[in-house]
Amino acid sequence: MNQFQYVRPTKRQAAIDAVAKDTTAKFIAGGTNLVDLMKRGIMTPQKLVDINRLPLTKIERENNGLRIGALALNSTVADDKQVREKQPLLSLALNAGASAQLRNMATVGGNMLQRTRCSYFYDLAMPCNKREPGTGCGALEGVNRMHAIFGFSDKCIAVHPSDMSVALVALDATVQVSGPRGNRSIPFADFHRLPGDTPEKDTNLEPGELITAVVVPDGPFTKHVHYQKVRERASYAFALLSVAAALDIDGNNTIKAARLAMGGVAHKPWRLTAAEQALVGKPATEDTFRQAAIVAMQGAKAFKYNAYKLKLGPNTIVQALKTAAAA
Amino acid sequence: MKEQAQDKQIGAPMNRVDGRLKVTGAAKYSAEYEIPGITYAVLVGSTITKGRLTSIDTRAAERAPGVLAVITHFNSPKVPGFDTAGKDPSQPATVGGPLKIFKDDLIRFNDQPIALVVADSWERARFAARLVKAQYAKEKHQTNLEANAAQAFLPTSAKKNPKSPMADYQRGQVDAYKTGAIKLESEYVIPTEVHHPMELQSITAHWEAPDRLTLYDKTQGTLATRRDFAREWNLPEENVKVIATFVGGAFGNALHSWPHESAAIIAAKVVNRPVKLMLTREQMFTMVGYRPYTWQKLGMSATPDGKITAITHESIGQTSTYEEFTESTLAQTRMMYQSPNVTTRYRLAALDIGSPIWMRGPGEATGAFALESAMDEMAHLLNLDPLEFRLRNYTDQDPEKNKPWSTKFLKECYQLGAERVGWNKRQLKPGSLRDGDWLIGYGMGVGTFGAHRGAATVGAQLLPNGTVLLQCATTDIGPGTGTVMTQIAAETLGLSPQKITFDLGKSSYPKAGTQGGSSTVNSVGPAVQEACLALKDKLRGIAASSNAAFASAKKEDVTLTDGYLTVGGNAATRVAYADLLRQPEAATAVTVEAKPGPEGQKYSMYSFSVHFAEVRVHQLTGEVRVSKLVSCADAGTIVNEKTAGNQMKGGAVGGIGMALMEHATIDDRFGRYVTKDFADYHVPVHADSPDVQVAFVNQPDPHVNALGTKGIGEIAIIGVAPAIANAIFNATGKRIRELPITPDKLI
C-alpha cells in the first residue's frame, strides 16, 4: 500500500501544526470515508494525523445553544437526550445516514468533510476536475442521475452526500475551527463551497484548520420537524434527494417560523431561504407547502438523467412539510 | 447417550450440518488456505474498452517492495491449451470460449486484465499494481445494446440446429397476435445485473509438481474446473485437484472458468510458489459474468372471455465479442399457457464487454418479467382478475412438447399463495387502495424451471467407529447440500444423522455435475439413496455368513442402529459392526452411480412457483415498500423445509433487488461501469424485505427420481420481479416496463 506516516497527538496545537506544516498531511478521525479513498488511491496523504485523542467529544450547553464536539460520534449525537429535545431534526438527519456500524465510527467533523460520491470522482480512469483538476467533468455529459440541479458549474456537477449537514444548515449552526492563525467561527451555510472553477476545494477551511465543534443555537423547532430522505432502498443508501424541514406553528395553525434545506441537489447542503419566507405567516396547509415548494425550485436546472429531481424536489418538500406539521 | 434414529429424516427441518462451522468462521473458503510459501496476486485492468495494448511499463511495479513478478502478454509463459484451435467443447452452452488471458494484445472489454502483479503480501501486490502503466491504440467500442439491436443475430447453436431451444419457435400461425380481437404489444428491458455473492471470486493455485496442480477455488463444479484447467495445461485430469469445500454463495458466477483463474495458475508457474488471487468487488462487475442486459418485445392476443389466442415473444440479450452466451429467456412463454399460436425469436448482440453467465433463474427470470407483466397487462385489458386469467389459460399438459407433465401442482400453489397474501383485498381498478399517501396494490408472477437431473456417483463406507462416510464431488454453494444429503442417507440407512458424514467439494471424490440449474438434489440425492442401499446390501451379505436372518433379508429391510446391523430392527438378528468390520476395508465400502432413466422422454418435467406481492408506493416520493411477499412452490418432495424455505426466501429477496434496485450501468462514452461498488449498485437490505412467507405443495414427483424432488433454486426468483411490478401497477396505474423500478420512474 501507499506508505504514510501516522501520528496521534494529544494536544490540539500539535495536531494543527502537523497538518499546517505539511501540505500532504490529513486529519483522520473515524476514517469512514478517508480510508476508503486511500484504498482506492483517490486520496494519497503522506501523513495521517489521528485526532481521536483530542478532547473534542463533548455535547454541552453554550450561550443558548448546543455545542457539539467535532469528535462526537454520529450515533452518540443522534441518541443524545439534549439533541433529541432541543434539535430533533439533527437527530433524524443523522439516523437517516449510512448504517448503524458507520454511525458508530463516524464523527460530526468527519461527516461534514465527506467527499462526494460521484462515480467519476471514485474512478481513477475517468475524468474528474475534483479529483484531478483540468481533466474535465465526467458527469456533465455522463450518467448524472445522482447529480446537482442547483449551484453547479461546468467544472463540476457533483453533490455533497451528508445528511447531517442538511439539518445543520437549516438550523443555522456555526462551525468552530482552530487553525495556525487562531480560532474562528464559520456560519454553516458558508462552510461548504460551490464548485465554481475550483471543485477540488469542498470547503472554506484554510490549510491546517481543524473543526473543533458545531454550535446549534436554540430555536423553536422542537416539535414540527422532519427529515425526508428519498433513496433507492429503505436504508443504507445515499439520497436521491432529501429535505430537512422545521416549522414553528402557532395555535391558529399559522406558521411563525420555518426552516428548509435540501440534500442531494448541490455541491453543498442547500438552504431554501426564499421558500422559508414563503411559508412564514401562512396557514400550515398542503396548499401553502406546494406554493413554497414552487419557490424552492426556482433556478433549478437538470441534466440528461436527473430531470426527475425537478419533480421529486417539490414533492419531497411537500411531504417533509406535511410530516413536520403533523409531528 | 443413546441416539434415537428417526424414521422420517426426509422432510425434517434439520439444522445445517455445517452451520456452526460457518457462523464461527471455522469453515475455510478458497482464499483462506495458508500454504507455506504462499504469494499474493492482484490483477491490473484495461482502462480502455477496445483496441490494442501497444506498450506496458512494469518497471516501477517490478521495483516495488516485495514484488516477485509482473506478468503480461509480453512475458507470460505459453499456456499449451490456449493454442488448441476451434471452439472449446468444455462450454456446451457457449460458442467461442473464455478469454485467453495474456495471450495477445487485444483489448476486448474495459477492465480486461492486462497484467498480474505477484508479491509477498496482498497489500504490496495491490500497491505495485497501481504502478503499472499501459499505452493503448484505441478503437471505437460498442457497449450499448439498443444502439446495436439492428446487428442482433441468431445464435450459432440455433443456426446449426433448428431444434435448438435457441432457434426460432413456432406453433400455429406466425405472429398471430397481430390479428387478434384484443391485443397488446409491449417492450421490456432488464438492465445488467451482477451476481455479487458475499464471497469474492478467489483462487489459490499450487503446482505441487511440474505436472501436478492443486486449486483451492471458488467454483460451483469441481470437476468442470478440473477439466478446464487440465485442458489448458495439457494434463491428465487426475493430475489436477480442485478443492471447494465451502463456497460463499455464487448464484451462477462460478459456473464458468474465468480468466483470473488461468492467471493465478500462470503466476504460480512463473514464481514457482503457490499464488492466491482474490478479485476486488469492482472486478466482480467486469470479469466474472453477469445477467445480461436484455430487450424484449411481447405481443399477445386474447378472446373477450379471457382465452389467449396468440403470443409472440422476442428478445435480444447482450453477449461478448469472443463468446456467444445464450440462456432460456423464452422457454416459459412456450409452455406456460394454453395458446394455439406461439412465436419466439431469440437474438444476441455482441458488445465490447466481458461475457455474461447464468445468474439465478437465468434466462427464465428475464423472460418471466416480460411474460408475466404482459399477462397482467392483458388481464387488465380484459377487466379480469390476473389469477382468474391465468386459470383460464392453465395447461394440463405441456403445449410445447405435447407430453404430460410429470407432475404439476401450480393450481394448488395459486390457492395457497392467494390465501396467504390476502388476494381477495385486491381491487380490479388500479389506485383503489390507499393508506394516507401510500398507495397499496397486489400483484402476482409465475415461475417455472426444468426439473433437471444428471448422473451422479456417491461413495459410502461403514467406518470402524460405527459412522458412515459418504463422498461426492458436488459442491454446496449455500443451499444446504451437505445437510439434505445427510438426511437422505440417514433415512435410507435407518441411522441417526449424527452418525453420517457427507464430504463434498473435492474433485477427487466420486463424480457429480456442477451445482447449477436446480439439479443437485435431483441428481445427487438418488445417488446417495442408491449408495446407501448398496452399502446395506453389502453389509447384509457379510452378515449373512454368520447370521441366517440376513441371508434371506432384502436390502431395504436392513437397518443400521447403535453399533448393530439388524433386519427390520429385530433385536434377535443383531450383528455388531465390529464383527462386520473385521473384513478388509473395501468390503464395507461401495461406490454407486445413479442416472436418469427414460422418464424424460415420456414426461415433461418442471418445477413451478407463484409469487404474490403486496406493495405500498408513496404517491409523492415514488418510494416502493414490499409489505408482503408470499412464494409458493411445487418443487416435488421437500427434503428439508428449513433449507428449502431458506432458498425460497433468498430468491424472493433477490427478486426484490431485481424489481426495485439492481442496475449495473455503463457510461457508453468510456465503456466503463459507473456503478462499481455497493454504494452505487444496490442490493436489498433487511429493511427492504418483509418476512417472506413460503409454502410448498410438497407432493413427490414420481418420475424425476425416487425421492420425488424437482428443484428449488431457480423458481425461487423466477416471477418475483413481475409480481412486484404488477403490484405497483395495481397500486398506481403506472406500468413500468424497464427494471429496476426506482422512485424516479413513479413520480
Query: Could you report the per-residue pLDDT of B209-219, keeping only the tens digit for each?
Result: 999 999 999 99
Distances (CA, A) of B83 to A53, B79, B240, B565, B677: 61, 8, 20, 57, 36
Question: Residue A234 is nearest to which of B123, B688, B740, comparing CB atoms?
Answer: B688
Take residue B42 and report the three cell numbers written for it.
Answer: 492482484
Q: With beta carbons less than 8 A apart as the criterion, state whether B438 and B604 touch.
A: no
pLDDT in tens, B327-349: 999 999 999 999 999 999 999 99
Same structural domain, B135 and B240:
yes
Q: With beta carbons less than 8 A apart as the criterion, state whether B695 and B716 touch.
A: no
Provide mean pLDDT across the span B16-37.
96
Contact A238 B124 (CB under 8 A): no
Q: Nearest C-alpha of chain B: how many angstroms from A138?
A: 9
For position B406, what pLDDT does the model report?
A: 98
Domain boundaries, chain A: 5-48, 57-327
pLDDT in tens, A87-120: 999 999 999 999 999 999 999 999 999 999 999 9
**B422 confidence band (pLDDT: 50, 70, 90):** very high
Contact B127 A236 (CB under 8 A): no
For position B403, what pLDDT does the model report?
A: 97
CATH number, domain of B344, equals 3.30.365.10
Contact B669 A141 (CB under 8 A): yes
**B86 confidence band (pLDDT: 50, 70, 90):** very low
Other beta carbons less than 10 A from residue B439's beta carbon: 24
Provide mean pLDDT across the span A135-159.
98
Residue B13 lies in a domain: no
**B2 confidence band (pLDDT: 50, 70, 90):** very low
Provide mean pLDDT across the span B515-532.
97
pLDDT in tens, B165-203: 999 999 999 999 999 989 999 999 999 999 999 999 999
**B585 confidence band (pLDDT: 50, 70, 90):** low
Same structural domain, B728 and B641:
yes
Residue B509 lies in a domain: yes
Residue B3 lies in a domain: no
Take residue A249 and report the three cell numbers written for it.
Answer: 406553528
Q: Is A162 on the interface with B (CB under 8 A)?
A: no
Q: Which residue of A has its CA nearest to B675?
A: A119
What is the interface size between A and B, counted as CB pairs within 8 Å? 89
Angle at B220 between CA B215 and CA B224, to 5 degrees: 65
Residue B206 lies in a domain: yes
Same structural domain, B432 and B532:
no
pLDDT in tens, A32-89: 999 999 999 999 999 999 999 999 999 999 989 999 999 999 999 999 999 999 999 9
Distances (CA, A) of B655 to B136, B252, B365, B617, B719: 40, 15, 9, 17, 8
Across B101-115, B149-163, B548-562, least confident range: B548-562
For position B84, what pLDDT does the model report?
A: 66
Which residue in B323, B324, B377, B714 is the catalytic one? B714
What residues of chain B lie within 8 A of the CB of A142, using their CB? 667, 669, 674
Same structural domain, B168 and B210:
no
B322 has a pLDDT exceeding 90: yes
Q: Is A318 on the interface with B (CB under 8 A)?
A: yes
For position B571, what pLDDT does the model report?
A: 87
Give percent of chain B with pLDDT exceeding 90. Answer: 89
Same structural domain, B68 and B127:
yes
d(CA A111, CA B54): 44
Take residue B350 and report the three cell numbers written for it.
Answer: 455482441
Residue B10 lies in a domain: no
pLDDT in tens, B350-399: 999 999 999 999 999 999 999 999 999 999 999 999 999 999 999 999 99
Q: With beta carbons less than 8 A apart as the criterion, state whether A295 and A274 touch.
A: yes
For position B3, what pLDDT does the model report?
A: 41
Residue B7 lies in a domain: no
β-pairing, B308-320 vs B693-696, is unpaired
Same structural domain, B545 and B607:
no
Q: With beta carbons less than 8 A apart as the criterion, state whether A66 and A215 touch.
A: yes
Contact A41 B130 (CB under 8 A): yes
Q: Nearest C-alpha of chain A: how many angstroms from B135?
A: 13
pLDDT in tens, A189-243: 999 999 999 999 999 999 999 999 999 999 999 999 999 999 999 999 999 999 9
Provide mean pLDDT across the span A295-309.
98
B714 in active site: yes
d(CA A97, CA A108): 12
For position A266, what pLDDT does the model report?
A: 98
B206 has a pLDDT exceeding 60: yes
Find cell 505539511 and name the residue: A22
Same structural domain, B241 and B111:
yes
**What is the DSSP secondary structure assignment for residue A224, as one 8-state letter?**
E
Same structural domain, B420 and B546:
no
Provide mean pLDDT across the span B409-414.
98
Contact A233 B675 (CB under 8 A): no
What residues of chain B lie within 8 A of the CB of A228, using their CB? 621
Contact A122 B126 (CB under 8 A): no
B586 has a pLDDT exceeding 80: no
Same structural domain, B339 and B437:
yes
**B94 confidence band (pLDDT: 50, 70, 90):** low
Q: Higher confidence at residue B333 or residue B94?
A: B333
SS3 labels along B276-330: EEECCCCHHHHCCCCECCEEEEEEEEECCCCCEEEEEEEEEEEEECCEEECCCCC
d(CA B30, CA B248): 9
d(CA B145, CA B637): 41
For position B176, what pLDDT does the model report?
A: 98
Provide mean pLDDT across the span B416-421.
98
For position B5, what pLDDT does the model report?
A: 44
Find cell 473464455 and name the residue: B98
Q: Higher confidence at residue B570 or residue B415?
A: B415
* Number of structural domains found in chain B: 3
For position B7, what pLDDT does the model report?
A: 65
Distance of CA B352 to the CA centre of its chain: 25
Instruction: Please give the residue range of the domain that contains residue B116.
Output: 33-140+197-250+254-286
CATH number, domain of B205, equals 3.90.1170.50
Instruction: Annotate B370-404 with b (16+ C-beta within 10 A) or e (fewer).
Output: bbbbbbbbbbbebebbbbebbebbebeebbbeeee
Residue B209 lies in a domain: yes
What residues of chain B lie within 8 A of the CB of A119, using their CB? 674-676, 680
Distances (CA, A) of A280 to A284, A317, B345: 9, 15, 62
Contact A145 B684 (CB under 8 A): no
d(CA B452, CA B589): 29
For position B92, what pLDDT does the model report?
A: 45
What residues of chain B lie within 8 A of the CB of A322, using their CB? 437
Q: With beta carbons less than 8 A apart as the criterion, state whether A51 and A28 touch.
A: yes
Give percent of chain A with pLDDT exceeding 70. Answer: 100
Same structural domain, B279 and B399:
no
Same structural domain, B318 and B276:
no
Find cell 396557514 and name the residue: A283
If we measure between CA atoms, which residue out of A299, A216, A212 comes closest to residue A259? A216
For position B1, what pLDDT does the model report?
A: 34
For position B341, what pLDDT does the model report?
A: 98
pLDDT in tens, B653-699: 999 999 999 999 999 999 999 999 999 999 999 999 999 999 999 99
For position B674, what pLDDT does the model report?
A: 97
Same structural domain, B542 and B465:
yes
Q: For the domain with range A57-327, which CATH number is right: 3.40.640.10, 3.40.50.1370, 3.40.50.280, 3.30.465.10?
A: 3.30.465.10
B89 has a pLDDT exceeding 70: no
Q: With beta carbons less than 8 A apart as the criterion, state whether B58 and B72 touch.
A: yes
Mean pLDDT for chain A? 97
For position B577, what pLDDT does the model report?
A: 82
Q: With beta carbons less than 8 A apart as the criterion, state whether A254 and A282 touch.
A: yes
Q: Is A274 on the interface with B (CB under 8 A)?
A: no
Question: Residue A119 is nearest to which of B126, B675, B743, comparing CB atoms?
Answer: B675
